[in-house]
């Protein structure tokens, strides 16, 4: 059975109520906005602050129903940060849960993998996506929505305003901000 078939089986188990299935990843937000296109009045000069190198990193996982678990860090996300976040989250699990991750080095580190047995005893299992398949990771939808739709341009006036805006979106996810995934078994059509 290949990874895609396994992922479809995991979705089926989730729909049937046997497990919880979350999709996880990290993303960064800096003062260099993600602007696929834009419009600007001819008499309005665009200014960029000198703090453009600062970055807010977000680690998050989301399930099919739109439940979000997120953690933020002003410093780089590494294996130890991910481990500490998983350690905190695993305490709240009420039934077997699968966390789908990509093959980032922080997820494949010896320190991260050394935790698998302990997490499995607590009901958490890690499932790695095939290489180069971000289209199979539902949390990628969250990053697209935040960066391309939900972050207002005013958020880019300072690092503090960007941090506040991103944290507000994460806090209001599920009420003011939502993503609706399809409920069919097709992984490809649901992302």
Q: Please report whether residue 43 resides in a domain.
A: no
Q: Which domain does 124 fall in, by range?
A: 3-29+51-190
- Give the total number of structural domains in the chain: 1
Q: Please report whether residue 36 resides in a domain.
A: no
Edge to edge, what strands does the sheet with 97-101 contain?
68-73, 55-63, 20-30, 97-101, 124-128
Q: Please report whether residue 156 resides in a domain.
A: yes
Cα 51 to chain centroid distance, Å, stands at 25
The pLDDT assigned to 37 comes to: 60
CATH number, residue 104: 3.30.420.10
Q: Please report whether residue 41 resides in a domain.
A: no
Tell whether the model's pLDDT for residue 36 goes beyond 70.
Answer: no
Tokens representing residue 145 in the block:
């929505």
Q: Please report whether residue 40 resides in a domain.
A: no
pLDDT digit string, tens, across residues 126-159: 999 998 888 999 999 999 999 999 999 899 999 9
Tell whether the model's pLDDT for residue 39 goes beyond 80.
Answer: no
Beta pairing, strands 97-101 & 124-128:
parallel
Q: Global pTM?
A: 0.85
Q: Please report whether residue 18 resides in a domain.
A: yes
* Residue 93 banded pLDDT, cuts 50, 70, 90: very high
The pLDDT assigned to 59 comes to: 97
């Amino acid at each position: 059975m290949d990874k895609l078939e396994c992922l479809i089986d995991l979705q089926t188990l989730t729909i049937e109520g046997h497990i919880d299935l979350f999709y996880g990843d990290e993303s960064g937000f800096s003062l260099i906005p993600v602007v696929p296109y834009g419009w600007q009045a001819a008499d309005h000069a665009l200014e960029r602050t000198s703090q453009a190198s600062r970055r807010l990193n977000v680690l998050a996982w989301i399930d099919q129903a739109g439940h979000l678990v997120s953690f933020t860090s002003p410093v780089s996300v590494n294996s130890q940060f991910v481990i500490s976040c998983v350690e905190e989250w695993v305490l709240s699990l009420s039934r077997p849960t699968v966390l789908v991750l990509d093959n980032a080095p922080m997820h494949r580190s010896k320190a991260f993998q050394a935790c698998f047995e302990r997490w499995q005893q607590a009901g958490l299992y890690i499932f790695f996506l095939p290489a180069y398949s971000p289209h199979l990771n539902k949390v990628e939808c969250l990053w697209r929505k935040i960066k391309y739709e939900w972050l207002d341009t005013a958020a880019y006036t300072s690092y503090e305003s960007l941090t506040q805006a991103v944290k507000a979106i994460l806090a209001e996810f599920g009420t003011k901000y939502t993503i609706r995934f399809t409920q069919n078994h097709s992984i490809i059509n649901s992302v």
